[in-house]
């Protein structure tokens, strides 16, 4: 099964929270990253477009950072639902935003192969989840990432709701 | 003067190193970030496109991370040339890649205003430069970033040269 066919995390984001360039199913211009569980691991696969280069033949770091960011917040939400014993998407909505993002680039990431992100929630609190992940191209782990995600502030949630999504 | 009119760092990258989606002048699909000196500070201004949203009304974190990354490596190169007492672009080429990227998202970044990046090279060694920066929207500092940049490995440089740029 591909991410498209799986019960991916982002499909459970409410409509007004689905506009993210990195992972929103309502953003037709964006990456539409899809993250799903494989046991305790959250996995996402992304195929860089030809223009996503740094140097010719290699993926640019900003794309990798974007994928780490969105896979991190998605995994944070999914892990929070798991911890709460609730199916993803049920009320009250648990939607996380990034407090901090860290990426270590271990080696140049080649173009032409799908990138595989594998993440684990290493800390799950009610308002804060830490997700650690790898980004691989084939057998090579090209980057490691850490996202500290926090439950979306109520003020931001209200502002989005008032904007009408 | 705008970044376009200034003597921006990325204009001095050799052609084969100018394909980056974030800052390459030869990447017509990309952000084409332009960084330039204002005294000791390296500055870049970027106007997010309408699709660069996270939640409606706010900029997605991956874009901010991308800009931090490219402004960081550009500033690293410019600082290394300054430290060497050479004009940017002169041989031997000093081109830096990102070893690690860290972004703290301090507050939601609003859409509709130019983002201003201001960076300083806080450590400049021959093969490693650390750049710390802020990302502001109007008067608000929305994010802080740190890039640890390393001189491009010779193997990568050869691979790029062999690929023909």
Q: Does the N-terminal peptide bond of residue B65 adopt cis geometry, omega within 30 degrees of 0?
A: no
Write the pLDDT tens digit of every residue in A91-145: 888 999 999 999 999 999 999 999 999 999 999 999 999 999 999 999 999 999 9
Say whether pLDDT at B5 is over 90: no
Contact: B20, A54; criterion CB under 8 Å: yes
Contact: A102, B102; criterion CB under 8 Å: yes
Name residues whose C-beta falls within 8 Å of residue A132's C-beta, 6 or more positions apart in sequence.
A119, A120, A122, A144, A145, A146
What confidence score (pLDDT) does residue B17 get? 86
Q: Cβ(B39)–Cβ(B116) under 8 Å?
A: no
B84 CA to chain A: closest CA distance, Å? 24
Contact: B160, A56; criterion CB under 8 Å: yes
Residues of B in contact with A100 (CB under 8 A): 102-105
Write the pLDDT tens digit of every residue in B11-27: 999 888 899 999 999 99
Write the pLDDT tens digit of every residue in B53-104: 998 899 999 999 999 999 999 999 999 999 999 999 998 889 999 999 999 9
Contact: B21, A62; criterion CB under 8 Å: yes
Residues of A in contact with B22 (CB under 8 A): 54, 60-62
Residues of B in contact with A104 (CB under 8 A): 99-100
ipTM of the complex: 0.94
Mutate to test the interface with B, among A54, A70, A96 (most CBs of B within 10 A): A54
What confidence score (pLDDT) does residue A127 get? 95
What confidence score (pLDDT) does residue B1 get? 47
Residues of A in contact with B52 (CB under 8 A): 21
Write the pLDDT tens digit of every residue in A10-40: 999 988 889 999 999 999 999 999 999 999 9
Question: Which of A17, A28, A70 lies nearest to residue B55, judging by beta carbons?
Answer: A17
pLDDT cut 70: percent of chain A above it: 95
Residues of A in contact with B76 (CB under 8 A): none
The whole-chain average pLDDT of chain A stands at: 92
Looking at domain B9-163, what is its CATH homologous superfamily? Hotdog Thioesterase (3.10.129.10)
Write the pLDDT tens digit of every residue in A36-59: 999 999 999 999 999 999 988 999
């Amino acid at each position: 099964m591909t991410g498209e066919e799986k019960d991916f995390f982002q499909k459970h984001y409410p409509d007004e929270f689905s506009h993210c360039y990195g992972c929103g199913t309502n953003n037709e211009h964006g990456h539409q990253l899809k993250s799903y569980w494989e046991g305790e691991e959250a996995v996402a696969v992304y195929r860089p477009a030809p223009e996503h280069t740094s140097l010719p033949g290699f993926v640019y770091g900003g794309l990798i950072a974007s994928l780490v960011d969105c896979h991190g917040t998605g995994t944070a939400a999914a892990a929070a639902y798991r911890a709460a014993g609730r199916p993803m998407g049920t009320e009250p909505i648990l939607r996380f935003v990034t407090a901090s993002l860290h990426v270590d680039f271990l080696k140049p990431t080649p173009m032409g192969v799908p990138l595989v992100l594998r993440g684990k929630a290493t800390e799950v609190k009610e308002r804060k989840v830490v997700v650690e992940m790898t980004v691989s191209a084939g057998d090579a782990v090209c980057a490691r990432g850490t996202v500290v995600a926090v439950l979306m502030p109520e003020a931001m949630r209200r502002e989005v709701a008032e904007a009408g999504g």
